[in-house]
Structure 1
Amino acid sequence: MTLIKSISGIRGTIGGKPSENLTPIDAVKFAAAYGTFIKSRNVSKESLTVVIGRDARISGKMIASLVANTLVGLGINVIDLGLSTTPTVEVAVPLENADGGIILTASHNPKQWNALKLLNEKGEFLNGQEGEKILEIAENEDLTFAEVDNLGTYSKNNTYLDKHIQEVLNLELVDVDAIKNANFKVVVDGVNSTGGIFIPALLKALNVTCVELYCTPNGEFPHNPEPLKEHLTDISELVVKEQADLGIVVDPDVDRLAIISEDGSMFGEEYTLVACADYVLGKLGGGNTVSNLSSSRALRDVTKQHGGNYTAAAVGEVNVVQKMKETNTVIGGEGNGGIIYPASHYGRDSLVGVALFLSHLANKKVSCKTLRDSYPSYYMSKNKIELTPQINVDAILETMAKNYQNEEVNTIDGVKIDFKNKWIHLRKSNTEPIIRIYTEATSQKDADDLAVRFINEIKAIT
């Protein structure tokens, strides 16, 4: 059982002892720290509001109740969206003129996990400095609750399913007419969470025939909820059986999007962003893109084809968003299927991703597999090396960068070394003594061989 406190929030397994797991006590303590932080940033305001929403995890209702009432106890008004998605809460915060937001989800983690993800008044994730401040407040228990006459209010708002979908349909590059005329048939795997509500509703608004698989929001995940190939055999088979045009898979909080081609093959989580960027850049006549250092080189290639500039950011949505703002990026995200489209908002949004992807497919008038085959083919290998706590990981990474200084080396987040037809990214974990090793090449063998080569080199110097 685990409790992980970080600058991006708190996450852990339900049950067990306080400070060792995500217990009710820990949920209240961290929610109180967040509320106190929000109050410290808005001392001149008489009334503060925080939007909350949750995925369909079994523990979600309990954690949501604890968080909501803790904020009310601090004198903060709470708007509860109930069963929602991460991007929906992000959209709701500025629309409600709220001062922050909390999403109760552990993303792709198994059902025994839950978490508090924290947003600012723009509906964007807090930065590292802000996260550190909340951790400090929680650690010191520097908390003061409101007296009875100054308690906050609690209200429910069930309108954001429709509002979020309408926001997506209103986007200029979402070609609603083309999608409606394409007569698509799509299978949706909602992993029995809120994607099973929101994605079918979006497809219905687009006149897409939707075959639902695991779309009952009961939190009983039917397979590992991370949308990777090895977890998606059921939908791959159903897409073929139903003769569907494609399959759509999202994680429990609907910020990661994976596509299945009509023959049951993976379009590739890494290529969701590539396809959406290809569409947006084509419509705009070019533009800049950003993804993190561990994402596929295919985005860079497609961006160059459209005459734009590609920039790599450190891993983490906050880092990607910051770099997108700095470079005036028109679309970006993370290679794990996270689409960030600033014309909508600065957050990974599978609803936006679905709408852009279907617009692309409808405009190209090609099959999903044909579209995938039109992009450069890269293959990734993801590995790690476990180290003893005594080993200096920073020194190892510094040595590896020095050994390959004649290549293109990026050290903004660990060490990324770009070779002509392949790359490797080495970075240390923030929570355990390991080095993560991501490689990509033009064949799976080359990607695997590159990883083995560097694993052996690192072991030789430890």
Structure 2
Amino acid sequence: MFGTSGIRGPVGEEVTAALALSVGRALGVETDRVVVGRDPRESGETLQDALTAGLRESGTDVVDLGVAATPTIARSVAWENADAGVAITASHNPPEDNGIKLWQPSGQAFDESRRERITARIENEETDLADWDAFGSKVTADHTSSHAETLVEAVEIEQPLSVVVDVGNGAGSVTAEALDELGCDVETLNAQEDGSFPGRPSEPTADNCQSLAALVGSTDADLGIAHDGDADRMRAVTADGAFLSGDVILALLGREAASAGEKVAVPVDTSLAVEDHLAEADIETTRTPVGDVYVAEAASESGVAFGGEPSGAWIWPEETLCPDGPLAACKLAALASQIPLADRQAAVKQYPIRRDSVEVDDKAAVMAAISDRVESEYDDVSTLDGIRVDLAAGWFLLRASGTQPLVRVTAEARTEDELAETYERAKGLLTEARATVE
């Protein structure tokens, strides 16, 4: 039921009001006070109402944040002295999807054991419904400004910049508010909240952010920022309109956040460029499975100063254990105010990397077939998340998507020729496994 990013899927099929009610009842068994908010998707209001009903009939008090960024919701759990938080969101997924993600008071998403506990209660129809006169209360609150004030306190921008913020019709207006308070000249793009995402698809990729890149590159803007629908992700554009890769942003933010001898948590599909750039400053990397919940778990460990994913999730454990796209935007603006991002990018030695996704009928069976083949042919194999094979010239990773019927293929090498060979090895394994299983 719960993937690494919570519950997520098509509304009316996998995600329904009945499911939201069940999650509310299951969470209500162990909570007295819960913060609930949502991204702008139209289905979110109904799902939030259903989940809130499940909580309140369990005797749990609810703090309703309405439309809010996911990091705002996660941070509000502690601000409201609550036991948990719930974000009704499908993050960067298309508008027909929605989902439910649960948060701890630390700002960290529910870990595997907590997710399993909620799932078991739902499957066993375990509830603790209150008497008719002991239902929980509901109050409304708005913590967007609280979030912005927290970012202003956490970041110092030496030379205010001209920044374009592409909100993506999502809930990330807090970024514009914080940057404005930090003294920047802020222009917004796709700032009207609209869960159908008319301005661009929600996921902030290079293809989806061409308008942002063109606007930044054709004006005197110093930086472009892009969020997804719930603003847990952040991607960026340099002053000349170049869309920064997630690996480069990870390398830059990680090197700024960590000191010599400390560690940065990165998922298994991260580029060698990150490891090499951090190693120059005597900063180690520690690998995690793909998913911000795993990066957050690693970031909570002693000696880990930062965690990030190339997809756009960034975590500063001393601030919060949730991926905070607005905080990342402000941190990146602070770096750009000292040295232009294009110059910083040039200092990160990059290698050719290729990422692809292949739709499959039975991803578990395909991955099992790949595992059997790889274990017999390669020596340096990691199964931390999917199957990663390290070679002399580079590496490749085959892993099943946690939310879609896909197997993701990532390959990297130090030269284009070596990349072609490495990628073909990985793709060949996947093709043969599909033929065996399907």
Offset of 1:121 from its aligned partner? 3.2
Q: Which amino acid aligns with 1:175?
A: E
State whether structure 2 residue 122 is matched by structure 1 residue 147: no
Q: 1:192/1:391 Cα in 2 relative to 1: closer, same or farther (>3 Å)?
A: closer
- Aligned-CA RMSD value: 2.2
Please report how far the alpha carbon of residue 8 of structure 1 lies from its aligned counterpart in structure 2 after TM superposition.
4.8
- Tell whether 2:22 aligns with 1:24: no
Task: Choose from 365, 370, 395 the match for 1:396.
Answer: 370
Q: Confirm whether residue 218 of structure 1 aligns to residue 218 of structure 2.
A: no
- In the TM superposition, residue 191 of structure 1 has moved relative to its aligned partner by 0.7
Are the structure 2 counterparts of residues 256 and 445 from structure 1 closer, same or farther at C-alpha, using a change threshold of 3 Å? farther
AA aligned to 1:11 is R
Corresponding residue number in structure 2 for 1:44? none
In structure 1, the residue matched to 2:6 is 9
Tell me the amino acid that sits aligned with residue 167 of structure 1.
Answer: T
Partner of 2:236: 259
1:387, distance to aligned residue in structure 2 (A): 4.6
Partner amino acid, structure 1, of 2:209: L
Query: Partners of 2:302 and 2:272 in 1: how far apart?
Result: 18
1:351 maps to amino acid:
P
For 1:294, give the aligned amino acid: D
Extract unaligned runs of 5+ from structure 1. 40-47
Which has the larger displacement, 148-157 or 325-334? Answer: 325-334
Q: 1:327 offset after TM fit, Å?
A: 4.8
Which residue in the other structure is 2:74 paired with?
90
Residue in 2 that maps onto 1:200: 176
- Distance in 1 between the 2:404 and 2:233 partners? 24
Alpha-carbon contact 1:6-1:135 (below 8 Å) kept: no
Stretch moving more, 425-434 or 319-328: 425-434
Label 1:130 to 1:441 Cα distance change in 2 as closer, same or farther (>3 A).
Answer: same
Amino acid at match of 2:15: L
Question: Which residue identity is paired with 2:149?
Answer: Q
Residues 10-409 of structure 1: pairs in structure 2 closer than 5 A:
10-15=7-12, 20-36=13-29, 38-39=30-31, 48-158=32-142, 160-171=143-154, 174-176=155-157, 178=158, 182-195=159-172, 197-221=173-197, 222-281=199-258, 284-285=259-260, 287-363=262-338, 366-387=339-360, 389=362, 391=365, 393-405=367-379, 408-409=380-381
Q: How many residues align?
A: 432
Question: In the aligned structure 2, how far is the partner of 1:444 from the partner of 1:57?
Answer: 42
Q: Is the 8 A contact 2:148 2:175 kept in 1?
A: no
* Offset, 1:433: 5.9
Q: Structure 2 unaligned segments of length 5 or more: list them.
A: none
**Helix, strand or coil at the partner of 1:118:** strand
Partner of 1:42: none
Deviations 1:18-61 (A, max 9, x none): xx34222222122222222x24xxxxxxxx10011111112222
Provide the residue aligned with 1:423 in structure 2.
Answer: 395
SS in 1 for 2:354: strand
Name the % identity.
Answer: 28
Cα shift at 1:286: 5.2
**Relative to 1, partners in 2 of residues 1:397 and 1:266: Cα closer, same or farther, differing over 3 Å?**
same
Tell me which moved more, 20-29 or 261-270: 20-29
Provide the rounded CA distance (Å) in 2 between the counterparts of 1:8 and 1:234: 28
CA distance in 2, matches of 1:22, 1:434: 20
Shift of 1:260: 0.7
Which deviations, in whole Å up to 9, do the C-alpha atoms of 1:189-232 show, x marking residues without a partner? 1011111x211101111111111110111223122111111111
Distance (Å, rounded) in 2 between the aligned partners of 1:445 and 1:208: 44
SS at match of 1:146: coil
Measured at CA, do residues 265 and 442 of structure 1 come closer, stay the same or move farther in structure 2, by a change above 3 Å?
farther
How far residue 388 of structure 1 moved from its aligned partner, in angstroms, is: 5.0
Contact 1:11 1:22 in 2 (8 A): yes
Judge conservation of contact 2:269–2:397 (CA < 8 Å) in 1.
yes
SS at match of 2:130: coil
In terms of mean alpha carbon deviation, does 91-100 or 25-34 score higher? 25-34
Aligned pair in 2 of structure 1 residues 83, 452: CA closer, same or farther (>3 Å)?
Answer: same
- Once residues 269 and 60 of structure 1 are traced to their aligned partners in structure 2, the CA distance between those partners, rounded to angstroms, is 29
CA distance in 2, matches of 1:444, 1:229: 21
Indicate if the aligned counterparts of 2:2 and 2:115 stay in contact, CA closer than 8 A: no
Secondary structure (helix, strand or coil) at the match of 2:40 reads coil
Task: Tell me, yes or no, if the aligned pair for 2:300 and 2:321 is still in contact at 8 Å.
Answer: no
CA distance in 2 between counterparts of 1:388 and 1:60 reads 30
Q: How far apart are 1:325 and its partner, in Å?
A: 2.8
Q: 1:204 to 1:445 in 2, by over 3 A?
A: farther
SS in structure 1 of the partner of residue 207 of structure 2: helix
CA distance in 1, matches of 2:169, 2:306: 29
Conserved? CA contact 1:439–1:451, under 8 Å: yes
